[in-house]
Amino acid sequence: MEFVLIAIAILVVALLVGVSLLVGRGRRTTRLDADDAAGTTLTRPRPPQPTTDSAPPPALGGATAADLYTGPPAPPEAPVELPPAEPEPGLVFETPLPSAGRLVRLRSRLARSQSSLGRGLLTVLAREKLTEDDWEEVEETLLAADVGISATTQIVQRLRTQTLVLATASGADLRSLVVRELTAVLGPDLDRTLATDRHDGLPAVILVVGVNGAGKTTTVGKIARVLVGDGKSVLLGAADTFRAAAADQLETWGERVGVLTVRGREGGDPASVAFEAVRTGAEAEVDAVLVDTAGRLHTKSGLMDELGKIKRVVEKQAPVSEVLLVLDATTGQNGIVQARVFTEAAHVTGIVLTKLDGTAKGGIVVSVQRELGIPVKLIGLGEGPDDLAPFEPEAFAEAIVG
């Protein structure tokens, strides 16, 4: 009996020891698994990659597979054609069209704005018998278009004479007559070329002046496009240091056609900016330097004196080839007063007439030339970047008459 009890006790102890061992093993396995889940990354080994330098395994007797092969030679491998390399990203500059013939392309805009002048003249002259009232109507039509008194008188006198000769003229003959007389008062013999050629190793210097709101900075940008389109190298000088963002605006125009811009700090000395622009242009050997000046009222003598200072400072670097006055065509006869004051201050050599597509007063072209003897060299016929055209008297007259 005692032996049985001892055997049972030994069996119970053995069972307890076995259970404790199983529990301990399970706890150790769970802890390791928890440690692995805490963020340890397992890296699987990559299979070995074949290399071009490794030789094929030798065959029996030290011979390779190539030595044992007795069949025909393998064809040569075809060369691998690589795709063409993509060009590196860079700036793409616009290439404006040459300025020649621009006015012909833009004549429809001019014809729309000036139709009242041409249509009014042809309507009266086509009447069977012209009376004094009819000739007064012709005068009123010309004066309303800002042609000016002296030019109007000349045109009417010549038309009176010619219509007597062409008493039974057709509509086409009358049209040719009006075009011829308008062309005559537009100054076809005036020199309208822009001085943009280098001289004595220095660039041509073009100062652009005008009153506030005439579209001066935009016009400078468009002139740059005209010159680039004609094959000239250009540098811009942002000497309008008073108007906020004027330099940024000019720089944007230059960037579009690959033209550099020299600028200064806002509110700085405009004469020093103009001087630096010309100096930089001379070093870069460009053909022309275009200098944009701040808009100023012609009634402010101090501002006009400053314009003269800019011109004198620039001429220490290179002579000024052109002083272009930007006039808003919608100002009419007031533009003549502006031109007279600017001419006294800076010796204007040419007129740029803007916004001509938005007014019926195209006769300002005639009056400003006759009053001051300054040729209109460029005209603006829209807001597009290439809507600035060299002025051509006959094409202008043709567009007006329609």
* Same domain, residue pair 175 and 255: no
* CATH number of the CATH domain containing 154: 1.20.120
- Please measure the distance between the N-terminal and C-terminal CA atoms of the chain and give it in whole angstroms: 142
- Note the pLDDT of residue 192: 94
Helices (H) and strands (E) in the chain, counts: 15, 8
- 171-185 helix and 149-165 helix, angle to the nearest 10 degrees: 150
- Is residue 353 within 8 Å of 329, Cβ to Cβ? yes
Whether residues 311 and 272 fall in one domain: yes
Is 127 contained in some domain?
yes
Same domain, 284 and 344: yes
Best-predicted range by mean pLDDT among 39-48, 191-200, 212-221? Answer: 191-200
Query: pLDDT grade, residue 30 (50/70/90)?
Result: very low
- Residue 341 lies inside a defined structural domain of this protein: yes
Same domain, 224 and 326: yes
Q: For residue 181, is it within any domain?
A: yes
Residue 301 contacts residue 245 (beta carbons within 8 Å): no
Residue finishing a domain among 318, 348, 378: 348
- Co-location of 303 and 250 in the same domain: yes
pLDDT at 27: 40
Same domain, 236 and 327: yes
The mean pLDDT of the chain is 79
Domain assignment present for 161 = yes
Q: Which helix (H) or strand (E) holds 37?
A: helix 2-37
Give the per-residue pLDDT at 363.
Answer: 82
Kindly list the distances between the CA atom of residue 138 and the CA atoms of 105, 123, 196, 219, 333, in Å, as whole numbers in the listed order: 29, 10, 41, 34, 19
Pairwise pLDDT comparison (28 vs 174), residue with the higher score? 174
CA distance 80 to 64: 28
Output the 3-class SS for 246-265: HHHHHHHHHHHCCCEEEECC
Residues in contact with 374: Cβ distance below 8 Å, sequence separation at least 6, in sequence order: 325, 339, 343, 348, 349, 350, 351, 368
Domain range holding 156?
114-185
Cβ-contact 237, 291 below 8 angstroms: yes
Lowest mean pLDDT among 48-62, 87-101, 231-245, 289-303: 48-62
- Dihedral in degrees, nearest 10, Cα atoms 111, 115, 120, 122: 30
The least confident of 80-84, 265-269, 323-327 is 80-84
C-beta atoms surrounding 291 within 10 Å: 29
Does 267 fall in a domain? yes
Secondary structure of residue 309 in the 3-state scheme = helix
Residue corresponding to tokens 């990559």 = 46
Domain count, the chain: 2
User: Is 90 inside a domain boundary?
Assistant: no
Residue 48 has pLDDT above 50, yes or no: no
Question: Quick one: 175 and 282 in the same domain?
Answer: no
169 and 261 part of one domain? no
Tell me the backbone φ, ψ of residue 376, rounded to 5 degrees.
-80, 120
Do 169 and 274 sit in the same domain of this protein? no
Closest CA to 105 of 324, 357, 325, 327: 357
Mean pLDDT of 128-135: 88
Query: What is the predicted pLDDT for the residue at 34?
Result: 38
For every residue of 165-196, which 3-state class applies, written as one string?
Answer: HCCCCCHHHHHHHHHHHHHHHCCCCCCCCCCC
Q: Are residues 177 and 232 in the same domain?
A: no
Does 250 map to a domain? yes
Instruction: State yes or no: pLDDT of 65 exceeds 60.
Output: no
| Tokens standing for residue 44 | 């699987």
Q: Which two tokens stand for residue 38?
A: 């805490």
Residue-wise pLDDT tens digits, 346-372:
889 999 999 887 776 778 888 889 888
SS (H, E, C) 97-160: CCCCCHHHHCHHHHHHHCHHHHHHHHHHHCCCCCCHHHHHHHHHHHHHCCCCHHHHHHHHHHHH
Same domain flag for 175 and 222:
no
Q: pLDDT, tens digit, for every residue of 376-399?
A: 999 998 888 888 999 999 988 888
Per the structure block, which two tokens stand in for 194?
């822009």
Three-state DSSP class for residue 290: strand
Q: Is the pLDDT at 42 greater than 70, yes or no?
A: no
Higher-confidence residue: 88 or 31? Answer: 88
Q: Hunting for tokens 């537009």 — which residue is that?
A: 186
The answer on 326 and 226 residing in a single domain is: yes
CB atoms within 10 A of CB 319: 12
Cα–Cα–Cα angle for 215, 219, 221, rounded to 5 degrees: 130
Residue 131 has pLDDT above 80, yes or no: yes
- Residue reference for tokens 């075009």: 179
348, 366, 392 — which closes off a domain? 348
| The domain boundary residue, chosen from 299, 322, 348 | 348
What pLDDT digit, counting tens, does each position of 136-161 carry?
Answer: 999 998 988 888 899 999 999 998 88
> Which runs of E-coded beta strand occur in 187-252?
204-210, 234-239
CATH of the domain at 317: 3.40.50.300
The tens digit of pLDDT for each residue in 275-331 reads 999 999 999 999 999 999 987 766 566 677 888 899 999 999 999 999 999 998 888
Q: How far is CA 85 from the centre of its chain?
A: 30
pLDDT at 384: 87
Any domain includes 241: yes
